[in-house]
Structure 1
Amino acid sequence: MIQRIQTLYILISAILIGLLFGLPFAEIAANGKLYLFNIQGILHNGEIVESGLPILAFTGLICVLHLVAMFLYKKRVVQMRVLVFSILLLLGLFGMFYFFTYYSFKGHEISYKVAVVFPLVAIILDYLAIRNIGKDEALIRSIDRIR
Structure 2
Amino acid sequence: MIQRIQTVYILLAGILVATLLKLKLADISVNDELMQFFAKGITKGEEIVFSGLPILIFIALITVLHLAVLFLYKKRILQIRILVFTIILLLGLFGMFFYFTYTGFDSPKVAFKIPVAFPLVAVVLDWMAIRAIGKDEALIRSLNRIR
Fold shared by both chains (TM-score > 0.5): yes
Provide the C-alpha distance between the structure 2 equivalents of 1:112 and 1:104, rounded to a whole number of angstroms: 17
Provide the C-alpha distance between the structure 2 equivalents of 1:5 and 1:45, rounded to a whole number of angstroms: 43
Q: How does 1:92-107 map to 2 (within 5 A)?
A: 92-107=92-107
Q: Match for residue 88 of structure 2?
A: 88
Provide the C-alpha distance between the structure 1 equivalents of 2:146 and 2:98, rounded to a whole number of angstroms: 51
Provide the C-alpha distance between the structure 2 equivalents of 1:116 and 1:106, rounded to a whole number of angstroms: 22
Q: How does 1:1-147 map to 2 (within 5 A)?
A: 1-147=1-147
Q: Which amino acid aligns with 2:40?
A: Q
Superimposed CA distance per residue, residues 4-55 of structure 1 (whole angstroms, 9 cap, x where no aligned partner): 0000000000000010011011000111110000111110011110000000
Runs of 4+ aligned structure 1 residues displaced above 4 Å come to none
TM superposition score normalised by structure 1:
0.98
Query: Tell me, what secondary structure is at the counterpart of 2:103?
Result: helix
Q: Which amino acid aligns with 1:98?
A: F
Query: Tell me, what secondary structure is at the counterpart of 1:67?
Result: helix
Determine what percentage of the aligned residue pairs are the same residue.
Answer: 59
Equivalent pairs counted in the alignment come to 147
Q: Which amino acid aligns with 1:68?
A: A
Superimposed CA distance per residue, residues 43-85 of structure 1 (whole angstroms, 9 cap, x where no aligned partner): 0011110000000000000000000001111100000011000
Provide the C-alpha distance between the structure 2 equivalents of 1:138 and 1:61, rounded to a whole number of angstroms: 29
Provide the C-alpha distance between the structure 1 equivalents of 2:104 and 2:122, rounded to a whole number of angstroms: 26
Provide the C-alpha distance between the structure 1 equivalents of 2:136 and 2:104, rounded to a whole number of angstroms: 45
Query: Tell me, what secondary structure is at the counterpart of 2:92?
Result: helix
Root mean square deviation of aligned Cα: 0.7
Q: 1:106 offset after TM fit, Å?
A: 3.7
Structure 1 unaligned regions, length at least 5: none
